[in-house]
Structure 1
Amino acid sequence: MDEVSNLIKKLSWHTREEEKEDAIKKLQHIEDEDLHLLLQPISKDYWDGAAETVIRLGYPRVKSILPGLLEWIQDLNWPGAREIADFLLEIGDPMIPYVKDVLNQHSDDQEWVCWIFEVLIIHWNTVQVLQIQAELIKISQEKANDLSALRILLTHGIYAKDVVYEIIQRKKDVLVFELKELHDPHPEIDCEALHKEFLNQQPNVIKQFHEHNKDRFYICNAISNRQEVLREIEIFTAEFLTS
C-alpha cells in the first residue's frame, strides 16, 4: 500500500508529465484491494491523474469501485468527473444497479441525481431504462428532477404524451396555487423593489439589511423558485408535448 500511495502522490497537476506517466503505468498493476485509493485521492489536484489511471485500468478491472466512481460525478465540475462520467457511460449495463441504488437511496441529493440523468440515463436505451422504471416514476412525482424523469418516461414510451401532459398540468396547478398562497397574504411585498434595494446597499450593511428583511426575502425566494419551475415546465411542454 505504501508503494501505491507514493505513486498516487505523483499524479498531481504539478508533477512533471514524464514522472506522472510513469506512475500511471506502474499503477496499472495495482492490487484489487488497493483500488479504492484511486477514488478522489489526497486533494483535487490529484484527481485528473487518478481518473486517467482508473480509465486506463478499464472495466471489469475497476468493478469493485463502481459505487465510488459514481460518487465522483456528484459534481461534474470536480477534476476528472467528466472523464469518469464518459467512462461509466461506456461501461453500460453493469452500472444499472448502482444508478438504481442512488435513485432509491439518494433522490434528495438533487445535484447528484441531476448529473446522473444528464451524463448517463439520458443516453441509455429502452431496455436499460426499463430497469429503473419504478424509480423514474417515483422521481416524476417529486419536485426535483421530475421533468428529467418525465422526459425519459416519455421518450422511451413508458408514458404516453397525454399522460405526461396531465401530470404536467397538475404540477402547474399546484404551483399556481402555491404562488397565490404566497402572494395574497403579502400584497405589500414588492420583490423586484426589494432586490433593487438590496443591490444598492453598502457592503458594510448588506448583512444587516438582509437580516432586517429576512421574512420578505424568504417569501420572495419562494415565489422566485416557483416561477422558475413554471418557466421550466413551459419549456418542457413546448419541447416535448407540443405537436
Structure 2
Amino acid sequence: MLDIDHIYEMLSCNNDITTQQKGIEEAKKIKALWVLILPILPTSSKDVWENCAKVLVSKTDKELSQYYYHLLTWLQDINWPGASIIYDRLSKVSDDLFEINLSTCLKISKNNGDKPWQYALDALSEERKKSKQTKE
C-alpha cells in the first residue's frame, strides 16, 4: 500500500480521472478511516475531500460507526466538496448509535447558533424518519 501522502496526491480533483480512481482504490485499503474525514493538508485540503467522501461511503455501517460524529461535522457546510455524498450515505445508516450522534450534533449546532449545520442535520433527520416510515 502507498503512503498516505501519496494517496492524498492521487485523490486531488486536479488530477485526471484515472489517477483519481487509482487513488480511490488505494484509499479503500486504509483501515484508520479518520485520515479521510475532512483531512487538513499543507496545501489544497478541499481538493481531496470529494474523493475521500467516495471512499468513506463505500464502507459498511459497522466500519463507519466510530466515525459518525466526525462524518456529521462534514455537513456543517453542505457546499463543501463531498458533503452531499456523505449526506446521502448517512441517510441510509441503520444503526442506533448513529441516532445518538445525530442528536448530539443537533444540540451542538443549536447551542452554537450554527444555522447551516442545524438545517442540514434537521433535513437529514427528517429524511431518515421518512425512510423508516416507508420501510414499515
TM-score (norm 2): 0.80
The separation in 2 between residues aligned to 1:74 and 1:104, in whole angstroms, is 13
Equivalent residue number for residue 125 of structure 2: 121
Q: Does 1:111 align with 2:116?
A: yes
Equivalent residue number for residue 101 of structure 1: 104
CA offsets per residue over residues 142-183 of structure 1, 9 Å max, x none?
xxxxxxxxxxxxxxxxxxxxxxxxxxxxxxxxxxxxxxxxxx
The structure 1 segments of at least 4 consecutive aligned residues displaced by more than 4 Å after TM superposition are none
Q: 2:91 aligns with which of 89, 92, 98?
A: 89
Question: Which structure shows the higher helix fraction?
Answer: 1
CA offsets per residue over residues 54-78 of structure 1, 9 Å max, x none?
1123322222221111000011111
The separation in 1 between residues aligned to 2:46 and 2:84, in whole angstroms, is 14
The separation in 1 between residues aligned to 2:69 and 2:2, in whole angstroms, is 24
Report matched runs for 1:39-188 at 5 Å: 39-41=37-39, 42=41, 43-93=45-95, 94-108=97-111, 109-118=114-123, 120-125=124-129
Determine what percentage of the aligned residue pairs are the same residue: 25
- Measured on the aligned residues, the alpha-carbon RMSD in Å equals 2.1
Quick one: structure 1 residues 10 and 87, their matched pair in 2 at CA, closer, same or farther if it must change by over 3 Å?
same
Q: Is the 8 A contact 1:73 1:115 kept in 2?
A: yes
| Distance apart, 1:92 and its partner CA | 3.3
The separation in 1 between residues aligned to 2:51 and 2:120, in whole angstroms, is 22
CA offsets per residue over residues 176-232 of structure 1, 9 Å max, x none?
xxxxxxxxxxxxxxxxxxxxxxxxxxxxxxxxxxxxxxxxxxxxxxxxxxxxxxxxx
The separation in 2 between residues aligned to 1:113 and 1:17, in whole angstroms, is 34
Note the residue ranges of structure 2 that are not aligned, 5 or more in a row.
none
* Amino acid in structure 2 at the alignment position of 1:46: V
Note the residue ranges of structure 1 that are not aligned, 5 or more in a row.
129-243
Equivalent residue number for residue 26 of structure 1: 26
Q: Is the 8 A contact 2:78 2:84 kept in 1?
A: yes
Q: Is the 8 A contact 1:8 1:38 kept in 2?
A: no
Equivalent residue number for residue 5 of structure 1: 5
Q: Is the 8 A contact 2:57 2:86 kept in 1?
A: yes
* Amino acid in structure 2 at the alignment position of 1:30: I
